[in-house]
Amino acid sequence: MLIKTQSSGFDHSVPSEITTQAAYQGRRDIIKLMATGAAGAAMAGWAGREAMAQSVPKPGKLATLAGAKSLVAGAVTMENISSYKDATSYNNYYEFGTDKSDPAQNAHTLVTKPWSVAIEGLVKQPRSYTLEELLKLSPQEERIYRLRCVEGWSMVLPWVGYSLSELIKKVEPLSSAKYVEFVTLADPKTMPFVGSRVLDWPYVEGLRMDEALHPLALLTFGMYGEVLPNQNGAPVRMVLPWKYGFKSGKSIVKIRFTDKQPGTAWNKAAKQEYGFFSNVNPLVDHPRWSQATERRIGEDGLFTKKRKTLMFNGYEAQVGQLYAGMDLKKNF
């Protein structure tokens, strides 16, 4: 089946989905206050964020990480933001268990400092970046993205980070680099489920180079104005809003540039169910369930009607051209 893309394919939210202007402006004012003194961009380091955290209201108990308003097209949906409680207690992070509540319960063992990310493979500038170097590499932005899980549920989350393309430009990929591979930490001492037979560890995900260079592909360090909680992939992860959630690797320790399509964790575990691209597509069902609708976490109710899932999770206008001419049923 050939699915044509449409430049006008973005479906606008219905009025009931839109945050009131007062509520949204209030939240923006808080973000603006958090950014004061940081040149409207990222705070320089962990010590600075710890100090800022003492003076602003926060949803959780972590260090503040402010993000300036993003100018990237599609970076801010105006849908109601999911609650911090839901975002931090309903997670898939199999290194800490397969139940949705396991990561919040078990991920306290994850050690996030010190942390470094190795850049390897087909680049002119291979090297290892400390977390502090990555935080300062480009100004932090707030992006409010929809998240759609392949299991059929969704949330709307405010992330903090910058486009992965900023890092890619720094390391200068060779012309032979066609794919980018992301490798997650796999430490059986701190990640109790590593070693289980569910997946081939470490968790690996990958993108085609043009996908990795898309401005919406976010190298992410925070959410809700704070640094990432452990169960959400601290201290650095990918967020790819037009793909199913499992494509966004967490707790990244290695980024490798390669000329071959990486073997990704879920694709290797069940190739017939989890394709390499895994773009959100309501027209291509998972072999065991429909992808046409989704359940928004926080809107649960006996009579709550499921939402229709949007092509590319509602980001068709921004990313559809990446897949023009492709058979999206074959390349699911």
Phi and psi dihedrals of 157, rounded to 5?
-130, 140
Would you say 315 is a known binding-site residue? no
φ and ψ at 138, to 5 degrees?
-155, 155
Q: Is 248 annotated as a binding residue?
A: yes
Whether the CB-CB separation of 232 and 91 falls below 8 Å is answered with yes
91 among annotated binding-site residues: yes
Residue 290, annotated as binding a ligand: no
Asked whether residue 94 is marked as a ligand-binding residue, the answer is yes
For residues 64 and 52, is the Cβ–Cβ distance under 8 A? yes
Q: For residue 138, give the 3-state DSSP assignment.
A: coil
Residues 248 and 241: beta-carbon distance below 8 Å: no
Closest by CA position to 68, among listed 94, 41, 101: 41
Per-residue CA distances from 71 to 45, 64, 76, 165, 325 (Å): 24, 22, 9, 15, 29
List the one residue out of 54, 256, 45, 241 whose CA is nearest residue 143: 241
273 is in an annotated binding site: no
DSSP 8-state class, residue 197: S
Q: Residue 268, CB half-sphere, CA atoms under 13 Å: how many?
A: 15
DSSP code, position 17: G
**Residue 250 annotated as binding site:** yes
**Are 207 and 180 within 8 A, CB to CB?**
yes
List the one residue out of 182, 187, 174, 322 whose CA is nearest residue 242.
Answer: 322
Residue 249 assigned ligand-binding role: yes
The CB density around residue 65, as the number of other CB atoms within 10 Å, is 25
- Residue stretches of the annotated binding site for Mo-molybdopterin: 91, 94-95, 149, 184, 232, 237, 248-250
Residues annotated as binding site? 91, 94-95, 149, 184, 232, 237, 248-250
